[in-house]
């Protein structure tokens, strides 16, 4: 088995820096996105509705030397999110750092170094600050890890990349199925729609969830859906059936509509499942179509809220029950496939996360 050597991150990079510490001049019509640590999701830059934009002229003031060998890491507030740069039109905020991997190291191997839980745990321990944690660039540069020859690096990263590629393929398939369902919804229910004052409350009211403190969650496999975009914890009991729509009730994301193919615990959220309507997929697509209106219905300034009443007050077009039934039946096949892909992705991610620390520590021999 070949000898592994110890390196620091500064040994394998040609540059390591962070983003803008001030605030650029935003432009809602700009073509360049202002990226922070929360935009680094699952190895990619994720553009959200809330992501700020700047003009090309403004962006030119703050551009960094980003290349196809650039990796981003979140270092302020949210610690340890990572993404590869794929040529996106963006400038960086201070909560993200970037580094360019030297040519004599495998880009994907170094990506998996910083994507590992070991790396995240290490920089989190060294973070400073009480309210908002911060990892210094010096801490980043001095992070130590072991690495084999570049040929062995490529063999290791190819195994992990093959799993990530399958996960990404499933995500793209799911995105396409979601788009098909939404396009069909618009074609059947929005084009040539007639409005005569009907509201969602004329059909049903969402059910208010039951709060569950993080300390009360037992750590099972059931997502606890609160005010954020992702589960706040995991529990061993659900208070909904699947499929289920959740609408976040409070916080910056109050009103966010999500669909789950598994039972969840609805906490700081409202929900719509089969106990409310047999046509969950139809109402999910209607609510996603109305997402902007739901966000605009938020009440409260310091702590925005969306309650079942706000959902019930949403005006909708005149609906035909037989058409709703047919639509729900058609798209149910889409969402069943999405659920299958999500289940496979969970299995693949678990396998990847199990292999990653063992491969990166040289505990698995690749001799063959």
Cis peptide before 235 (omega within 30 of 0): no
Distance CA 282, CA 264 (A): 19
Residues 6+ apart with CB under 8 A from 311: 200, 205, 206, 247, 270, 287, 294
For residues 239 and 252, the answer to whether their CB atoms sit within 8 Å is no
Phi, psi torsion values for 82, nearest 5 degrees: -130, 155
For residues 172 and 38, the answer to whether their CB atoms sit within 8 Å is no
Identify the structural domains of the chain with CATH numbers, from first to last.
5-147 (3.90.220.20), 195-316 (3.90.220.20)
Phi, psi torsion values for 125, nearest 5 degrees: -60, -35
3-class DSSP assignment, residue 164: helix
- pLDDT tens-digit readout, 301-314: 788 999 999 999 99
Report pTM. 0.86
Instruction: Compute CA distances 330 → 35, 102, 192, 324, 327, whole Å.
Output: 38, 50, 21, 10, 5
- Provide the residue-wise pLDDT of the chain in tens; the chain has 368 residues: 578 999 999 999 999 999 999 999 999 999 999 999 999 999 999 998 789 999 999 999 999 999 999 999 999 998 999 999 999 999 999 999 999 999 999 999 999 999 999 999 999 999 999 889 999 999 999 999 999 999 999 999 999 999 999 999 999 999 999 999 999 999 999 999 999 999 999 999 999 999 887 778 888 889 999 987 788 889 999 999 999 999 999 988 899 999 999 999 999 999 999 999 999 999 999 999 999 999 999 998 788 999 999 999 999 999 999 999 999 999 999 999 999 999 999 999 999 999 999 998 888 876 65
State the DSSP string of 349-367.
HHHHHHHHHHHHTT-S---
Instruction: Compute CA distances 257 → 117, 219, 229, whole Å.
Output: 30, 24, 9
For residues 360 and 113, the answer to whether their CB atoms sit within 8 Å is yes
Map tokens 């040994």 to a residue: 11
């Amino acid at each position: 088995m070949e000898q592994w050597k110890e390196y620091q991150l500064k040994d394998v990079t040609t540059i390591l820096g962070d983003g803008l510490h001030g605030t650029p001049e935003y432009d809602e019509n700009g073509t360049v996105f202002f990226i922070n640590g929360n935009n680094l999701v699952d190895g990619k830059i994720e553009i959200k509705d809330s992501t700020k934009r700047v003009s090309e002229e403004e962006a030119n003031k703050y551009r960094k030397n980003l290349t196809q060998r650039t990796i981003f890491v979140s270092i302020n507030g949210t610690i340890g999110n990572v993404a590869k740069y794929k040529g996106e039109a963006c400038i960086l905020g201070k909560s993200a750092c970037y580094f360019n991997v030297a040519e004599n190291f495998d880009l994907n191997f170094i990506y998996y170094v910083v994507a590992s839980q070991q790396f995240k745990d290490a920089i989190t321990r060294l973070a400073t600050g009480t309210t908002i944690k911060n990892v210094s660039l010096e801490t980043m540069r001095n992070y130590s890890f072991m690495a084999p020859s570049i040929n062995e690096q490529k063999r290791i990263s190819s195994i992990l990349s093959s799993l990530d590629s399958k996960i990404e393929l499933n995500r793209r398939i799911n995105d396409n199925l979601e788009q098909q369902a939404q396009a069909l919804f618009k074609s059947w229910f929005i084009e040539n729609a007639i409005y005569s004052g009907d509201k969602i409350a004329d059909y049903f009211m969402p059910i208010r969830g039951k709060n569950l403190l993080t300390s009360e969650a037992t750590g099972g496999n059931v997502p606890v859906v609160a005010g954020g975009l992702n589960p706040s914890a995991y529990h061993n009991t659900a208070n909904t059936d699947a499929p289920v729509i959740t609408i976040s009730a409070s916080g910056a994301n109050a009103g966010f509509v999500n669909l789950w193919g598994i039972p969840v615990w609805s906490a700081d959220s409202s929900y719509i499942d089969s106990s409310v309507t047999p046509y969950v997929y139809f109402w999910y697509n209607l609510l996603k179509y109305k997402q902007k209106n739901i966000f605009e219905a938020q009440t409260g300034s310091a702590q925005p809220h969306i309650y079942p009443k706000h959902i019930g007050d949403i005006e909708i077009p005149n609906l035909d029950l037989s058409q709703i039934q047919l639509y729900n039946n058609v798209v149910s096949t889409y969402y069943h496939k999405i659920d299958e892909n999500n289940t496979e992705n969970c299995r693949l991610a678990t396998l990847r996360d199990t292999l990653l620390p063992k491969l990166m520590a040289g505990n698995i021999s690749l001799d063959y």
